[in-house]
Structure 1
Amino acid sequence: MESTELAANLFGATQTDEKLRRDRVTGKKEAGDIHFQVGQKVRETIADLGGVMPEDLPTPEKSIKQIIIKNLTN
């Protein structure tokens, strides 16, 4: 995952958290629905700005697991 995808994920997560708190959501179904709605808005924003959708971003050559293992062995 590159920085663009990480940033989009973090933005979606923080906005979901804020909306859940602001709306005082406690139920799993409602929380899931809000998570989905926020995710759709994030995707709409990326598309509106002409950005690359997460599924169209290039796949890194190494996984995070490979990077961690390499760093631990050095």
Structure 2
Amino acid sequence: MQTTLDYAVFQDHGYRGLYGGLGAKDIHVHKNLKKSQKILDHMGSTELAANLFRATQTEEKLRRDGVHGKQQANQTHFEVGGKVRDTIRELGGTMPEALPTPKTSIRHLAKESKKPEG
């Protein structure tokens, strides 16, 4: 059975791999977010794409390799995040933690686009 805490720990491992050791709390501070704000809502397209790639590749690897157990899943997520980071570095890209945080969150933009004009 997976709890909310288990999921948070799992996500944190993925972030630590992709962000060179920074966990969710570190990223929150780095982006100057309030406690209620979600990290994924405050990413530009490049950073969001790296995180989506990390998540999808981890999911595929867990399934493909038949990974069982929280500890092994967490380690796999960390490793996949690290591989995505390595690829960004090899391509000469900007590390996720060095990318700018958009001034307006994705959630705010979505709300604004649903408001009737006039």
Aligned to 2:115: 73
Which segments of 5 or more consecutive residues in structure 2 lack a partner in the other structure?
1-42
Q: How does 1:1-74 map to 2 (within 5 A)?
A: 1-74=43-116
What TM-score do you get using the length of structure 1 for normalisation?
0.88
CA RMSD of aligned residues (A): 1.2
The structure that is helix-richer by fraction is 1
Greater relative contact order structure (CA < 8 Å, 6+ sep): 2
AA aligned opposite 2:84: V
Q: TM-score, normalised by structure 2?
A: 0.58
* Consecutive unaligned residues in structure 1, runs of 5 or more: none
Letter in 1 for 2:111: I
After superposition, the C-alpha distances for 1:18-52 in whole angstroms (9 at most, x for unaligned) are 11011111201100000000001110111111100
Percentage of pairs with the same residue = 61
Secondary structure of the structure 2 residue equivalent to 1:60: coil
SS in 1 for 2:68: coil
Number of residue equivalences: 74
Q: In 1, Cα distance between the equivalents of 2:65 and 2:51?
A: 21
